[in-house]
Structure 1
């Protein structure tokens, strides 16, 4: 495994690697063990690049810290964006490599140009071989109802909070309390540098266990300084919104082993349920029908 000080870190949370003419910025990696992976699980690596046709790298898959890694070529590169490809901005891709046959889940993955290259990236792999059932059922009740339909918990994947000059702390409290009143089990948010009052709100709800925070920054060449970032947000909003595809995907893959159902809402959105007291009850009726 490469030591942390030999990794080329960019904008705090990204690892840089060049694959021939393609420069990747790697953010996170996940184990995908869903049924439709056709046999052995996949590893999904979330990455940015300006290349419209990125070169295909290889994966070093580490199952322990001492032995050599298993080597697997990236078998699929998915472009994830609602906009057309453009080389004047960073674009989000999912790199997929298949895991080798192993008894224990992999610990980490490195992206390299080709086999036998020295690894200079190392992403911890998040995920499990099986879904965690401890948070799956509403109110801790995993018994089936009369219709043999379980009452599932539902989590929320929210946006990446980038508000530094705008204090939305009161709106954020209102949004979180409404989601809790509607029966959502947990809210997951990504956080950049935010207003101090927003920071206090997030710390409070995180300590309560209702909110989960993943720290985040925008990839190079976008600045991490909040004052420069504000100009970028105002002048190039399409580029900012293109980033949403990455952190929504990150949230879903990060928590899909904990929850069977995950919704997405922004702080200015709320489901209206005129005939149900909670979102799990609404979901239960949809499944039952």
Structure 2
């Protein structure tokens, strides 16, 4: 209304507020028709012409654009410079060292799990600490990095290993997974020293309660693939036979080593893990919940079933510990569940999959993601009668015809060269800001075979309409059948688990 009134005043007023003479309006009315038509066409051309005409060509740059390499180098250098901290001069006494990983509590509800030395940037090294904080903890932390008897003390950087938009509960009531980073100054990084451990305190010169031991680098050159399995909680369910089949199939595909984090498992599962641990194939890592979360077997299982969002936050800890354990031991880590297998659809092994990718994908992304397809237990399969009952994967070769969306339920080859933090599906953060977090591979290259009993309660509607309704035969794993059975049966016989 105000704009209309101003328009009326302007239309009816001249200089000094006097009314315009009526003769001007009359002269317009008396204008010949041909002039009025011409005037109307000119006005229309002025009003609509810019929208109808094609956009003008962009101006030719007078100077060439800057090189992408210059931009990338500058962004990484800027990040490193922003992360540097001035060491604090003090000499707190060394606390007793404790081997990692094991939960250690500092003051004010901070829980530390493990520490690792990151030398991926040649002149700027970091100590990385996998930790959890209770609720909204906005206080500062200080690292006391031990190079011999004298610590290097500086303020820690804090990065969430979780995305707040995922939360379905009040974050103040939850434990929050974080990565604490201790930036080592350039002049110390270039010396090539390897710290023995790190302590964390709220004030720089406080006497710390304990020291997280930092493992030395491996003596062998990096291998290709490590598989990381989050906390296993199967105290009553016996999946021992399926676990042997899963381990051997992943070994056929290219897995060099498995890191299995364990809350509590059935005795038969323990037999399987112990057997592969003795063979140097599996590293079993006992796992507990931090803080006031329950750790009695029954109470913990019940808690993990009923506190879904805290459970998912807890899962991030073993995945990141596994990632940093393998920073120099393997080129890729694969965060997988024991009902999932990344199966090449072009080529035979994971190495074949990566060998067929363009260098821009290998060098430009921290994780190479594979789309999910469900193989439900009650889908009828033509192969079921061809194989014995303990070969679950070989007996289930019917899947949902639709793959999950490209941004949901993927699993990934996570690069130890580029990732900074990971979660269940792909890298959350990258070391270099110019590197992408994830790229999804075409299903003609690889797919994620996901063997589930039924639809998850969280996806019932979507599951029925997209995944249960449409199905297709998919025997991509059958090419491994003979070799897989030749591996599985002797192990089950050795452990007394082969059905009679």
| TMscore range, shorter length | 0.7 to 0.9
Asked if the contact 1:132–1:257 (Cα under 8 Å) also holds between the matched residues in 2, the reply is no
Change (3 A) 1:103 1:286: closer
The question of whether the paired residues in 1 share the 8 Å contact of 2:222 and 2:331 is answered with: no
How far apart are 1:268 and its partner, in Å?
0.8
Cα 1:99–1:174 shift into 2, 3 Å: same
Match of 2:155 among 63, 73, 98: 73
1:25 counterpart (95, 104, 111): 111
TM-score, normalised with respect to structure 1: 0.82
Q: How far apart, CA to CA, are the structure 2 residues paired with 1:72 and 1:209?
A: 38
CA contact (8 A) 1:157 1:264 kept: yes
What are the ranges of 5 or more consecutive residues in structure 2 without an aligned counterpart? 1-93, 361-500
Match of 2:128 among 14, 19, 44: 44
Q: Determine the C-alpha separation between the residues in 1 that align with 2:308 and 2:240.
A: 22
Within 5 Å, which residues of 2 pair with 1:1-289?
A: 1-3=94-96, 13-18=102-107, 22-35=108-121, 39-64=123-148, 67-74=149-156, 76-82=157-163, 83-84=166-167, 86-100=171-185, 101=188, 102-126=191-215, 128=217, 134-136=221-223, 153-287=224-358
Does the CA contact (< 8 Å) of 1:33 and 1:42 recur in 2? yes
- Measured after TM superposition, the shift of residue 73 of structure 1 is 1.2
CA contact (8 A) 1:154 1:263 kept: yes
SS at match of 1:238: helix
Aligned-residue offset at 1:88: 0.7
How many residues align? The count is 258
Higher relative contact order (CA 8 A, sep 6+): 1
Q: Shift of the alpha carbon at 1:288? A: 6.0
CA offsets 1:127-148 (integer angstroms, 9 cap, x no match): 53xx865343xxxxxxxxxxxx
* Alpha-carbon displacement from aligned partner over 1:221-241 (angstroms, at most 9, x marks no partner): 111111111211221122111
Q: What TM-score do the two structures reach when normalised by structure 2?
A: 0.49
Distance in 2, matches of 1:212 and 1:120, equals 28
Return 49-58 or 222-231, whichever deviates more. 49-58
Q: Is the 8 A contact 1:44 1:97 kept in 2?
A: yes
Is contact 1:127-1:254 (8 Å) kept?
A: no
Is 2:135–2:173's contact at 8 Å kept on the other side of the alignment? Answer: no
Uncovered stretches (5+) of structure 1, i.e. residues with no partner: 137-152
Q: Equivalents in 2 of 1:97, 1:71: separation in Å?
A: 9
Secondary structure of the residue aligned to 1:95 is strand
Report how far residue 170 of structure 1 moved: 1.5
CA distance in 2 between counterparts of 1:207 and 1:255 reads: 19
Shift in Å, 1:287: 4.8
- Relative to its length, the structure with more helix (as a share) is 2
- Rg larger in structure: 2
1:41-89 per-position Cα deviation (integer Å, ceiling 9, x unaligned)? 111111111132431111111122xx22111111x21111143471111
Distance 2:283 2:117 in 1: 20
Deviations 1:168-201 (A, max 9, x none): 2112111101101112211111122222111111
Question: Is the partner of 1:134 in helix, strand or coil?
Answer: coil
